[in-house]
Amino acid sequence: MANAPSMGIERIRVNVGAKFRPDSTAHVDKVLAKIADEHGDGFELDGYEPSEGVAIFKRESNTLVASHSGNDSMEIRLPQDTKQSDGKKRAVSLTDTYPGYQMTTFEPHRRRAIISKLSDEVIRARDAISNALSVDPWNIQVAQRTDGGFDFSLPPTYRPSKHDDGLNEAATVIIGQPGWYVEADTHTRTGSITLRVRVNEPVAGFFTQPAGG
């Protein structure tokens, strides 16, 4: 599907207290300075709820709505001063701003992040696989297979001797169960976790017996 450019509205809610005055430039600027530290520039006051002591700020940003690993996704423009170390902070911020989405790509050098709608199963698998690979979840791509397993990308830092034990544990303990296998291809930098029954090999929870036994 071709990318379709659109204008997105990013909103955040800030607890400012009952003494906040939305008509005071000093009050608004003070909050905007704090927002800029955490989320970047470009926000403006959009509303104030005095009963809750909450101010709503908004920012318009160009987004690209596209297909990403078979899921609804949005490409978000990042502030110019975003650093690689800001990944976790941006992931939390974007999830709060766009409920139901997870940050799946983070490229501050290109001033962009991609957020995607992921199933609970994919989120759980992505967390387990990224932990086994010692990378952040948004540094790998994970997609569910038709057989119930998962395909995933391998980061440049992947080393079989260093990471395979952790991947096998993730496959058999967190994602699946005994009988699940990990396959990794260092040339294509892709991997799979799936239940693969080998010929004449019993799987945990099952047993074999001679025909007619």
- DSSP character string of 51-91: TTTEEEEEEEEEEEEEEETTEEEEEEEPPTT--GGGHHHHH
- Number of helices (H), then strands (E), in the chain: 4, 10
Q: Is the pLDDT of residue 5 over 70?
A: no
Q: Is the pLDDT of residue 208 over 80?
A: no
Domain ranges of the chain: 4-117, 120-195
Quote the pTM value: 0.62
Q: Are 142 and 150 a contacting pair, CB within 8 Å?
A: yes
Question: How far is residue 21's CA from residue 176's CA, in Å, rounded to a whole number?
Answer: 54
Read off the pLDDT of residues 136-176 as tens digits, 9 standing for 90 and up: 999 999 999 988 899 999 998 999 999 999 999 999 999 99
Angle, nearest 10°, between helix axes 160-169 and 120-133? 150
Read off the pLDDT of residues 28-76 as tens digits, 9 standing for 90 and up: 999 998 888 777 777 888 899 999 999 998 876 544 444 444 458 888 8
